[in-house]
Structure 1
Amino acid sequence: MTAPPFLSIDPETRHVSLDGRDPVFYGDPNRVYALLHARCPTFYWEEQKQWFFTGYDHVNSLLRDRRFGRQILHIASREELGLAEPAPYLANFDLAERHSLLELEPPEHTRLRTLVNRAFVSRHIERLRPEIAGLAEKLIDGFEKDGGTELLASFADIIPVTMIARMIGIPDEMGPQLLVWSHAYVGMYMFKRTREDERAADRAAKEFSGYVKGLIAERRRSPREDLLSHMIHTEHKGQYLTDDELVSTTIVLLNAGHEATVHQIGNSVRVILESGLPPGQLFRDEAATERTVEETLRICAPVHIFQRWALEDVDIDGLSFKRGDKVSLILAAANLDPEKFSDPLAFRPDRQEAPNLSFGAGIHFCIGAPLARLELNTVLPILFRRLPGMKITGTPVVKDVYHFHGLERLGLSW
């Protein structure tokens, strides 16, 4: 496989130059990951000034390695690490992130996750299946007679945000506004974000936080049977969540609870239709559906990269990292490791190989994975059953939001 013009690989130095904003790359990153696996699975990405791991075993072990963590300032100062002071114009975003489950290590992470986790265990989530199915059927009722639709706007955007909002206790009518805030907020995680992206994220954090604070005050006065009331009124070892912790946790649950699943519904429909495999076979029963969903998660994961700080000096794959160094793990590339997956670029739902790493691993394994899997296992069979003649119209447009991977639009007709 020949390297495209935007990619250069030096296997001897393990240095790679790659333009992450090139549409050919983010439109189909799997081809680049295959080249990296062949020539340089652990590499220094020059534009990102950081070491990246793509090998399945390395990514899997580093996700679980307690010598690495999501935060570093709990054990070292900014001065000691040579880190710049926070930008004042990002004060609202930084405050919203300060107590994020995604950014904490034990014991704070343990306390927050324990309070939230019980709402997301599989046996509780399974009760939502009829509600998810009902919402999917209702949405399809709205466009089935049209003979075509743009799937993201009419279907994929709506289901995950509606379900996570209902779980937390936010009215359905807030769905469109939550999407606006969330899209601006997660702009902070894109490669080569602009100052404009950063200011938009800070504005979204301020507005988002203000809305959640109002909701918290309301639930303190009048608790309901929802996750926010549970988080407010449940203690862990004699401690309750503070308002700042409640805001951070609610925002991360809303963002993580729908962004990736929106991408994955679109990605999954695209890869299934482009595979040419008969949907009737892929979704013939519960077991086949589960295998199909897991294979779509493997081959077109919605979140590609997670970063870790070295919490101590450590050697990995012949490289020496100092405390305070940051490394990146490409989950989507690990899912394509030829050492673990035969013919890794092929969509094969009958695989019985390694589990995909799309939801991470270790203490930061995605808390919403049971909900995401339930939504995918519920709505995809309904969509293909209701619209049996579905085909893609036009060229699917991939969003310029790497390191996320999702579609801007997916036109369908039947």
Structure 2
Amino acid sequence: MTDHTFLAIDAARRQVRLDARRPAFYSDPNTTYAALHAACPTFYWQEQKMWFFTGYDHVNSLLRDRRFGRQILHVASRAELDLPAPAEHTRHFDKAEEHSLLEIEPPEHTRLRTLVNRAFVSRHVEKMTGEIEALANRLIDGFERDGETELLSSFADIIPVTMIARMIGIPDDMGPQLLKWSHDYVGMYMLKRSRADEDAADRSAREFADYVRRLIAARRAEPREDLLSHMIHTEHKGRHLTDDELVSTTIVLLNAGHEATVHQIGNSVRVILESGVDPKTLFADPKATERTVEETLRLCAPVHIFQRWCIEPCEIDGISFQRGDKVGLILAAANLDPLKFSDPLAFRPDRDEGANLSFGAGIHFCIGAPLARLELNIVLPLLFRRLPDLELAAKPAVKDVYHFHGLERLELAWTPPAVAG
């Protein structure tokens, strides 16, 4: 048995005890993932009371396997599965999630995704290049002469939320409020969540939904050239989205469209600075930039776990699953599978060993992936070009928000440009 204080692995029985609330784990989960790959890539996580998969091939195939889904109550009742009734204190959150693209299955998922997918294909998203560059440059202009900044609050927090809000049709000045609602909302997905986290998520879900409903009414009366107007006025097979579907879809697009990218900007800057590799080589041309972005996504993914319900009885890696069982897929660990990636814990932007799974796969592949990739491919080289001697001013602290992975703060320093005259 392997024991690292917060981690105990019984490889013979494929049983793992892992305290995800310990800083030793969430500050450096990759080391734990390496230990799991070495001992038992498929394991029963005792604290979470379910089986988890870390192997690249298993995670990749299960994300696409229609015997598993994000939903279960479309094929079985709560009574059949012995599930408790929904909690009263999270009813607003549950209502907002009722039609979420992340939580539903075909045919409803197909209908909703078809109506919004068009806006997120690469050729449409790439039209935002100029806006992203202008915003990033303006933000850097604001702190360049200071010689120091906390990058999350001055840069990373602002760009993704501003761009997804503009795309949907929400004013820039709503950015801080959207961030607050989103941070509270995603608290429901943290393994350490408390009753206070649940209360905050429910309160913000109610406020968020009320705001979106007011926006829907305004766009219904006066359509604009934005995604919300498109979703309101476009039909699929003779059906329009209901208001409840519009609220769920708008909230998930806003949350997914910026939360992970905020984390990834910070994670990527940290990895690059700690690697010691000259940023000039990493961002020498668009191809090098793309490889660098993909390697940081592989090495420090912003979202680590997706869960699936078993819909049909089956056997995976020698484990039998019945309808109603839940499984965990650790995307970030699959990105470190030594059977897929050589020297997997190393930052090697020249590697060409296949795609990372940081955006998922299958029908629930992240709809915002083209936008996130575009933002990263623009803002990272721009930041290092504008601040050529950028360095860490303090050891970055990782947020206690597992199964997300991002920084609490990222303090940076550089030599400010000389003032002319």
TM-score, normalization by structure 1 = 0.99
1:329 aligned counterpart, secondary structure: strand
Q: Paired residue for 1:94?
A: 94
Identity over the aligned pairs, expressed in percent? 77
Offset of residue 3 of structure 1: 4.6
CA distance in 2, matches of 1:88, 1:197: 15
2:129 aligned counterpart, secondary structure: helix
Q: Paired residue for 1:222?
A: 222
Q: Paired residue for 1:131?
A: 131
CA distance in 2, matches of 1:116, 1:390: 38
CA distance in 1, matches of 2:86, 2:231: 29
1:150-169 correspondence runs (5 A): 150-169=150-169
Q: Paired residue for 2:105?
A: 105
Q: Paired residue for 2:27?
A: 27
Q: Deviations over 1:107-158 (max 9, x none)?
A: 0000000000000000000110111011000000000000000000000000
What code does the residue aligned with 1:109 have?
Answer: H
CA distance in 1, matches of 2:299, 2:35: 15
What code does the residue aligned with 2:386 have?
Answer: R
Q: Paired residue for 1:198?
A: 198
What code does the residue aligned with 2:80 have?
Answer: E
Q: Deviations over 1:184-236 (max 9, x none)?
A: 00000000210010000000000000000000000000000000000000000
1:206-285 correspondence runs (5 A): 206-285=206-285
Offset of residue 5 of structure 1: 1.0
CA distance in 1, matches of 2:194, 2:285: 46
What code does the residue aligned with 2:255 have?
Answer: N
Q: Paired residue for 1:380?
A: 380
Q: Runs ≥4 in structure 1, deviation > 4 angstroms?
A: none
Say whether the 8 Å CA contact 2:298–2:335 is kept in structure 1.
Answer: yes
* Structure 1 vs Structure 2 CA RMSD: 0.8
Say whether the 8 Å CA contact 1:191–1:402 is kept in structure 2.
Answer: yes
Q: Paired residue for 1:38?
A: 38
Q: Deviations over 1:379-403 (max 9, x none)?
A: 0000000000100011101100000
Q: Deviations over 1:281-324 (max 9, x none)?
A: 00000000000000000000000000000001010000000011
1:248 aligned counterpart, secondary structure: helix
Q: Paired residue for 2:326?
A: 326
Q: Paired residue for 2:418?
A: none
2:366 aligned counterpart, secondary structure: coil
What code does the residue aligned with 2:228 have?
Answer: L
Q: Paired residue for 1:361?
A: 361
CA distance in 1, matches of 2:364, 2:206: 26
1:371 aligned counterpart, secondary structure: helix
Say whether the 8 Å CA contact 1:3–1:35 is kept in structure 2.
Answer: no
2:408 aligned counterpart, secondary structure: strand
CA distance in 2, matches of 1:177, 1:105: 30
Q: Paired residue for 1:291?
A: 291
Say whether the 8 Å CA contact 2:304–2:330 is kept in structure 1.
Answer: yes
What code does the residue aligned with 2:379 have?
Answer: V
1:103 aligned counterpart, secondary structure: coil
What code does the residue aligned with 1:175 have?
Answer: G
Say whether the 8 Å CA contact 2:192–2:402 is kept in structure 1.
Answer: no
1:75 to 2:75 alignment = yes
Q: Deviations over 1:342-377 (max 9, x none)?
A: 000000000010210000000000000000000000
CA distance in 2, matches of 1:278, 1:89: 51
CA distance in 2, matches of 1:342, 1:90: 44
Q: Paired residue for 1:352?
A: 352
CA distance in 2, matches of 1:227, 1:63: 28
CA distance in 2, matches of 1:220, 1:361: 34
What code does the residue aligned with 2:308 have?
Answer: R
2:257 aligned counterpart, secondary structure: helix
2:303 aligned counterpart, secondary structure: coil
Q: Paired residue for 1:314?
A: 314
1:412 aligned counterpart, secondary structure: strand
1:102 aligned counterpart, secondary structure: coil
Q: Paired residue for 2:116?
A: 116
Give the direction of change, closer, same or farther, for the CA distance of 1:122–1:54 in structure 2 (3 Å limit): same
CA distance in 1, matches of 2:46, 2:94: 27
CA distance in 2, matches of 1:86, 1:166: 34
Q: Paired residue for 2:305?
A: 305
What code does the residue aligned with 2:359 have?
Answer: F
CA distance in 2, matches of 1:70, 1:110: 14
Offset of residue 69 of structure 1: 0.4
Say whether the 8 Å CA contact 2:167–2:227 is kept in structure 1.
Answer: yes
1:63 to 2:63 alignment = yes
1:174 to 2:174 alignment = yes
CA distance in 2, matches of 1:357, 1:387: 31
TM-score, normalization by structure 2 = 0.98
Say whether the 8 Å CA contact 2:192–2:401 is kept in structure 1.
Answer: no
